[in-house]
Structure 1
Amino acid sequence: MSARAFLVRGLLAGLLAGVATFLVAYAVGEPQVGAAIALETISSEDSGGDGHSHSHATEGGSEETAEVSRTNQSTWGLLTGALAVGVALGGIIGLVAAATMGRLGRLTPSQSTALVTLIGFVAVALVPFLKYPATPPAVGSGDTIGLRTSVYFGYLLVSVLAAVLATYGAVRLRERVGTYAAVVGGTAAYLVVVVVTGQLFVTVNEIGDFPADTLWSFRLASLITLATMWGVLGVALTGLVGRLYAAERAVAERKALAATL
């Protein structure tokens, strides 16, 4: 089983995950984005300014429409973004799964692929989201976008590095203390690092008087969308790798049998 085989299947799984993510994001996420934009527009009108309006008046008094309409953003733009992220993420996970094959104890290729995807979801998506959850368009000051971006990616880097080191440590400890103790130890080490680091990293709170129910719905939809991307990717890639492994194993068994005749 070559790295190329993993990469091709990762790209295919990522494509499927992108399509599924688009459907979920359009059905679950876009209504929450629309509600946030509507609140932003109302707030802007009440304050007497144009805020983040999607059209701007020209000198002649006519309106210049936005280059990308809201309809295109929520359809073709969303689909393009979901497919691009899905394919890129699938390729990365495929290569990581290929690199770790045979290095995670006695796990089969499909089992190690599933484990890599699960660790990736926790370290890349879930834990950073819990520290710095997604915010709707109407929340957050433009003056702090640089800070918010920096601390998010900084915490993401810490989470990924901690997950890699914890996994490596668990694999090394497995032969000494057993699988159960190694998994518990690795998990505990990861949690200690991300929890302590999360306390040290700056807390961003720019919600203001934004409605709590709308914010909760938006963040829940965002988390569901993330889970869809990683879940479909993991299931599809694990299945594809499992089929490839079974096929190659069957060929090897037939060759071994033929050699004994």
Structure 2
Amino acid sequence: MDVCVVAVDVGSVRPPSRFAWVALDTRGAEPIGAGIDPATAVDAVAAALTRGDQVALLLEAPMAVPVPDRWEDLGKARAGEGNRPWSAGAGAGVLATGIAQATWIFKALAERVPACTATTQPATWQSGQAQLLLAEAFVSGTGKPVPVGVSSHAADAAAAGRDFLDRLHRGPLVSDVVCGPHAAVNLLAATAIGGRLPIAEHELRADVLVLKVRPVRSGGGVFEEFARGGEGG
């Protein structure tokens, strides 16, 4: 089974763009595409879906929030977030941006590839019941090492994509951050439904796969060519 992962660092699309995406697949170690706008990210995902790949789309923004039984616990961090809770200033800001950008991307994908079915559950995706896995990347770490001339946004996206493929190769896809023991509101499922991307409605109450990633220094090559701000696909 060929797998393609497109990792997106959510951010402002106004120049200079703070939005970046990088695509990788199981056919080789180097990125197969990258860009700095949502339209080219959709192009990359649509191309992979059309050629029959199983595709994972990772968004670097909080994509599930906990709903506790006690009102006193509202806004508290998810288990595994540490000192970067979804409800803090930076997390809340990128959450709002992520909702808007995810809905736009999913709507465009639904129009481009109407037969595509999506899921936020790794087991459903790995069994072939859905072709597109929607997941969250949580990129963190002090003093992130970034290659010279490469934006931190592209480096974050590349780190998330490579981490996903590494985990897929090693074994089960297990989330590093969870809403539990509280109930979850699945924002990936909600925005997919808002964008008319086919997904099971019951996933609205299911937790999402969250990959906690620390960026690593790139070896350069094709990655640097793409991540300097060019586009490929």
TM-score (norm 1): 0.29
Could you say which structure has the greater relative contact order, defined with CA pairs below 8 angstroms and 6 or more residues apart? 1
Greater helix share, 1 or 2?
Answer: 1
Structure having the higher Rg: 1
Greater strand share, 1 or 2?
Answer: 2
TM-score (norm 2): 0.31
